[in-house]
Amino acid sequence: MRPKLRRGPPLRPDAQRLRRHFARAAPLRESVYGDDGARPGAEALTPASVLVPIVAREAGPTILFTQRSAHLKDHSGQVSFPGGRAAAGDASPEATALRETLEEIGLAPRHVELLGRLPEYHTRTGFRITPVVGLVMPPFELRADAYEVEEIFEVPLEFLLDPANHQRHSRVWQGELRWFFVMEYGGRRIWGATAGMLVNLYRYLSQGRLAGS
């Protein structure tokens, strides 16, 4: 049974409220998916992790995204979080997320304060993704991997946490009508798994309207 998506007013968290919420709020039990439809069982999926990097800007927190290169096999050309498949030497999903982030965009782990995890996100393309939320404190330097990343950009967190911006679109894929979340900002289109994980972030932060704030 798919969890019900309850919509409320937009959230306006800052770094301190985010820290308190992740320290106190119970984790989400289930994921709301950005793309509807049947998925393989978890045992058949490849483990992966992404970093959900919340940048503590003075003008307000943002989330950092990558535009994936068009030639990549998986999710080519899409907007995504930095991350990728777990490697044999990774001690945890957090280790995977930090390693992949360093490799893809050059963001060193020392700039990332890990806050917690969102529920696993299972994709029809065969991945079992653990979203790891981290607070990134400027200043920091970025260096995109030219093979994997076409561009790095930021979107205001307040915009992404406003349910009015969580659109539902559809398309026919493999002969079936599929529905998915879309968030459009500054001419960019965030959709599918990435948008679904952002909706899960909104759901989590909505629990208690930022616990303790």
pLDDT, position 1: 38
Determine, yes or no, domain membership for 152. Answer: yes
Determine, yes or no, domain membership for 7. Answer: no
The tally of domains found in the chain comes to 1
Determine, yes or no, domain membership for 179. Answer: yes
Determine, yes or no, domain membership for 86. Answer: yes
pLDDT, position 84: 93
pTM, rounded to two decimals: 0.88
Q: 115-151, pLDDT tens digit by residue?
A: 999 999 998 788 999 999 999 999 999 999 988 898 9
Q: Is 152 exposed, middle or buried (0-12, 13-18, 19+ CB in 10 A)?
A: middle
Its domain, for residue 50, covers 15-206
Determine, yes or no, domain membership for 212. Answer: no
Q: Which residues contact 198 (CB under 8 A, 6 or more apart)?
A: 63, 160, 166, 181, 183, 190
Determine, yes or no, domain membership for 131. Answer: yes
Determine, yes or no, domain membership for 81. Answer: yes
Determine, yes or no, domain membership for 6. Answer: no
Q: 161-205, pLDDT tens digit by residue?
A: 999 999 988 776 666 767 789 999 999 999 989 999 999 999 999
Q: 15-53, pLDDT tens digit by residue?
A: 999 999 999 999 988 888 766 555 666 678 899 999 999
* CATH number for position 135: 3.90.79.10
Q: 71-85, pLDDT tens digit by residue?
A: 455 544 589 999 999
